[in-house]
Every structure is written in C-alpha cells, then in structure tokens.
Structure 1
Amino acid sequence: MKCTFCNEKAVYNVKYNGTALCREHFINFFEKRVKREIRNQTDLKRDKITISVAISGGKDSLVTLYVLNKILSDRRNLKIKAFTVDEGISGYRPSGIEKAARLCKSLGIDHEIISFKREFGYTLDEIMSIDNTRISCSHCGPMRRSLMNKISMYNKADYLALGINLDDYAQSILMNVVRGDISRYIRLAPHTGIERDGLIPRIIPLRKIPEKEVVIYAILNNIDYDNSWCPYYRDAYRNEARMIINMLEEKTPGTRQAIVKFFDGTRDILKNSYESKDMKRCMICGSPSQNDVCEVCSDLKEINERVLKKSI
C-alpha cells in the first residue's frame, strides 16, 4: 500500500479519514494535531513559561514529553520539567521510572520523582492491604492528582501536561455522562481560560490522537516505553467504557472523535448554566477542595483509623 500523498510505502491506514500515510506524512499528521492543541490550550506569548509534564514511563506520557520538547524546545521563554509519581506498586512502577528517567536524560530535561510513601506514609500496595473494600482507583486517583498539582506548584509551572490520548479522553467523557456527574464533566481538562487558586491548569496535547497512533509514533521515533499494565486495572470502571467505545468505533470509525466534538460543543454551555461549588481550602492540608476536607485527607484519615483498630 502506497502513501496517499507520495509514492513511499504506507506505515498506517487512517480509517476515519480514508488516507494511507508513509512515515514522514504520518509524523507530520500526528504533530500537526498536537501543535493545534498546544495553540488552543496554552498562551505561549507570556514572558516566561514553565510546563510541568507528568510521565509514568508509558507510551502516552513519554510521547507527550518527546513531542512537546520537539515542538517547543527552541522557544527561549519556555522551560519543560518532568516528574514521575511513584505510587508504590510492586513489580510495575520501577520499570516505568527507569524508562522515564532515560528519556529525560536523552532530552536534557530535569526529572523528579515524588512518591506516595514519602508524601502520604503508605504505598498503594500497603493502602490496598489495609482497605480492599474500595477499588484501587478510588484511592490512587485523588492521591495522584494531589501530588501532580503539588510538584507542579513547587516548580512554579504555568501548565501541567498529561499524557491522555483520544481513547482515554472519550472514555472519561462517557464515564461522566453515564454517572450523570455534570460537575466533573465540566472540570475535565484541558483547563483553557480557567484559573483556580492553588490549581495548575492541566493541558492534554494528545487528546485528539488515537491510542494506536501514539504507539506507532513512539515506534517510529524509537521511544522506549513501558507497556505493562497496572496490576489493579481489572477493577477499574474505565474498562466498561473502553469496551463500549471500542465496539462503537469498530462499527463506526470516528466515534471517538465525535464524542470529543460533542464534549467541546456542550461543556461551555453547561459551565455557564450549571452552579458549581466555589473551591475551598482543605482544613487539614490546605489543598484546593470542594469540601472542608479534601478527598485525600478524608481517605488517609479512614486508612489511619483502620490501622489503629488492627493494632489494638
């Protein structure tokens, strides 16, 4: 199969737009969409800009770091910093940390590690051994978000970039629709034009890029990533959303893009008509929260109480 735009051999067939692309045209197609998202999600005209990039060592986050560096590294007013959150998952996270550190070193980008154990006193494995009445994501999600915001604040970042691809994004949208969670729906990244005291605006440059294309881009650019799955993923509610969207995409290519288009067309309307709670500060840790005590501190209080009961 030949490339639609030249006589070179095609490396990828884009079903949702009917084109076949060679290596060069695929990379251009990929990076063009990322550039558009960067323009739409950020203000690059500031005197100084710092982008904090969360990298797990997986394909999405490492490609996000790589492509941001490729597109923005020639800007003198912009600095990119990277960090990894170590949740403390035995046999899973160490490999990702190693690959994340290696890419950062090759790109000349500062890399830091922030851990659950150091910040909260427990690894995720320890938390699950203490409280297995809830799925791991209910503990891990809020804790990860808290640490990502904390280290980005420490680094005085203007934006926090996350490696979220089109598949992930469409799943998140669907999950919030199914739950009827309007508040969380309108708070989904990217946080374009949103300023909240104590919260670094999140950007997601890959939100229009299908997961398969992220994998191909990583391979074509020799990005060594960790492809292992979190051992707790089987319990995630996201799995159902993934299955539904994959089924719809197979029958109707372009379904994922349509879901994101629907989201973009409805979020601002909902935002203007929906009364959301004003952000407060957690009475315990001082982090931004919709309640008097944030999710993380509330969770840690319950975990500590369980530990205390077991010790008596």
Structure 2
Amino acid sequence: MPVLCSSCGDKRAVLKRPKTGHSLCKACFFWAFEEEVHQTIVTANLFKHGEIVGIAASGGKDSTVLAHVMKLLNERFNYGLELMLLSVDEGISGYRDDSLETVKRNQEQYELPLKIVSYEELYGWTMDAIVKQVGRKNKLHLLRRVQKAGARQRSPHAKVDKICTGHNADDIAETVVMNVLRGDIARLRRCTAISTSSEGEGVVPRCKPLKYAYEKEIVLYAYFKKLDYFSTECIYPQCLSWPCEDLSEGPGERQA
C-alpha cells in the first residue's frame, strides 16, 4: 500500500526526509526545502535589498540547486537582489571546460548574467600549467594558496556585494571534524559561521544559504526538479576546485 504524504495527506509520498522523518510528495518536499532556505536567509539576515549577489557557480549539484533556489526565492519573497552567476576557470582540461558548459546552460535556463574569471586572466597561468611546472604532490600547498587567492579576490570585472556558496550541512560537519583532528581552533570557529565578513580590501563577504540543508536532500531536490548539473570528479582532487574549501573554510563540492 502506498504511503501518503504526511503534509498534504493526499498525494503519494516519494521520499522520507532524513531531517524530520516526514514522508512527503514532490510538491510538499519542494515547498519545505525552499521554505527552510528562505528561513535561513531571513533569520541570519544574509542579504539587504538592492545588493548585487554573486552565486558561486561551478556546475555541480550544490551550486546548481543554490542558483535555482536563490532565483526562485528572490522572486517569490521580493528580496530585491540583483543576482549573477560567478565562476572561476582554473584551466583544467577535460574537467573545468566541461563543467563551465553546464554553467552556461544554467545561465540560459535561469536568465541570469554570468561572469567567468580565469586563472590565466588573473595570473597569466592555468592550473594545468602550474601542475606541469611544480607537480601535483610536492607543491600541493602552493596550488591551494593560488586557489584561495583567486577565489577571494574581488574581480575588477565582476562587482558584487556578496558571494553565496553551495556549502551544506554535510560539508560543515565534515569540516568541523577535520579541524578538530588537526587542532585548528581558529578555523574551527570560522567554518561554522553562516557568513564571513570582509577580511581586507578587495575581499568579498561570503555566505551559505544552504548551511542547514542536508546533501541527500539537495541531491533529491536536483533529481526531482530535473536540474542540469555536472558530476565528473576533478582530476586534481587533492587541491579541490573553487567554489570549495578555500572560499569558506569548508570542503565544499567534491564534484564542483
């Protein structure tokens, strides 16, 4: 016998939420997921009316769901935000060039402006060129520093007031465990914050509207909504691609 939705009591349930244990139909799940993200934004006062907000778009499931939900909520609740997709092209052949094609499709689907900033534009190198020069393993710390600098700098071609990333509850929990194990108290405190203020001139504040969303529910939301996202592993998994670890002190999207 099919299980009915515990919210509307009419339609057949398609999932049992790990967060609440409720069995929900698609429509009620969509409403619950979107309402929780809205409450997160309102409660934490993440945005102000009129702000230009860059959505860190990598083409992965988390950032794609974030872009979809941010556009939907901005229109539904009249946040008054000017949204744009913001991507970094590290220059990783066979990976980032493919994922950026997904981002470009998202731009058309969500009718949002897109700015892509490349490492070659910022530094005169690509990630492939850096790895070829210094190697993957021996200079891993250098790769991470380059990514951090690229992710946190305000691009002169993309003026935004804030950047929101697709980091979720699973990412934050993993980061907490990682920082506890390595005894990094300073980062442990920062990694749980829903937003980070500007840390210097040219640095854009960042926030996490999906902070309380479970990764499983993000996957289900993308699946049931039939969202277009990229799911290939990065060929340099040790350094993680933006928007990931270095953008908000968390592990972020493993599949960018």
- Identity across matched positions, percent: 31
Which residue in the other structure is 1:191 paired with? 195
Task: For residue 40 of structure 1, report the CA deviation from its aligned partner.
Answer: 3.2
Q: What TM-score comes out, normalization by structure 2 length?
A: 0.81
Q: Give the alignment of 1:233-312 within 5 angstroms.
A: 233=237, 235=238
Which residue in the other structure is 1:229 paired with? 233
Task: Please tell me whether residue 144 in structure 1 is matched to residue 155 in structure 2.
Answer: no
User: In structure 2, how many angstroms separate the alpha carbons of the residues matched to 1:17 and 1:59?
Assistant: 22
The counterpart of 1:94, out of the listed 94, 97, 100, is 97
- The 3 A distance-change label for structure 1 pair 208 and 135 is farther
The counterpart of 2:120, out of the listed 98, 110, 117, is 117
Which residue in the other structure is 2:245 paired with? none
Per-residue displacement from partner, 1:201-235 (whole Å, max 9, x unpaired)?
A: 211111211212111111222211001111222x4
Q: What TM-score comes out, normalization by structure 1 length?
A: 0.68
Higher relative contact order (Cα pairs below 8 Å, separated by 6+ residues): 2
Q: Give the alignment of 1:37-52 within 5 angstroms.
A: 37-46=40-49, 48-52=50-54
Higher helix share: 1
Q: What is the identity, as a one-letter code, of the residue corresponding to 1:202?
A: R
Q: Give the alignment of 1:46-65 within 5 angstroms.
A: 46=49, 48-65=50-67
Q: Give the alignment of 1:148-167 within 5 angstroms.
A: 148-151=151-154, 155-167=158-170
Gaps of 5+ in 1: 238-312
Aligned 8 A contact 1:161 1:203 in 2: yes
Gaps of 5+ in 2: 241-256
Which residue in the other structure is 1:84 paired with? 87
- The 3 A distance-change label for structure 1 pair 214 and 98 is same
SS of the residue 2:38 aligns to: helix
Task: Please tell me whether residue 70 in structure 1 is matched to residue 72 in structure 2.
Answer: yes
Which residue in the other structure is 2:175 paired with? 172
Aligned 8 A contact 2:74 2:80 in 1: no
User: In structure 2, how many angstroms separate the alpha carbons of the residues matched to 1:30 and 1:135?
Assistant: 43
Task: For residue 105 of structure 1, report the CA deviation from its aligned partner.
Answer: 1.7
User: In structure 1, how many angstroms separate the alpha carbons of the residues matched to 2:132 and 2:204?
Assistant: 32
Task: For residue 98 of structure 1, report the CA deviation from its aligned partner.
Answer: 0.8
Q: What is the identity, as a one-letter code, of the residue corresponding to 2:208?
A: I
Task: For residue 128 of structure 1, report the CA deviation from its aligned partner.
Answer: 1.8
SS of the residue 2:70 aligns to: helix
Aligned 8 A contact 2:83 2:112 in 1: yes
The counterpart of 1:206, out of the listed 179, 204, 210, is 210
Aligned 8 A contact 2:168 2:212 in 1: yes
Aligned 8 A contact 1:59 1:227 in 2: yes
SS of the residue 2:153 aligns to: helix
- The 3 A distance-change label for structure 1 pair 83 and 134 is same
- The 3 A distance-change label for structure 1 pair 45 and 94 is closer
Aligned 8 A contact 2:143 2:239 in 1: no
- The 3 A distance-change label for structure 1 pair 88 and 144 is same
User: In structure 2, how many angstroms separate the alpha carbons of the residues matched to 1:33 and 1:152?
Assistant: 31
- The 3 A distance-change label for structure 1 pair 215 and 152 is farther
Task: For residue 90 of structure 1, report the CA deviation from its aligned partner.
Answer: 1.6
User: In structure 2, how many angstroms separate the alpha carbons of the residues matched to 1:100 and 1:86?
Assistant: 11
Aligned 8 A contact 1:85 1:144 in 2: no
Cα-Cα RMSD: 2.4
Task: For residue 197 of structure 1, report the CA deviation from its aligned partner.
Answer: 3.3
User: In structure 2, how many angstroms separate the alpha carbons of the residues matched to 1:71 and 1:109?
Assistant: 14
- The 3 A distance-change label for structure 1 pair 206 and 131 is same
**Equivalences, count:** 234
Task: Please tell me whether residue 219 in structure 1 is matched to residue 205 in structure 2.
Answer: no
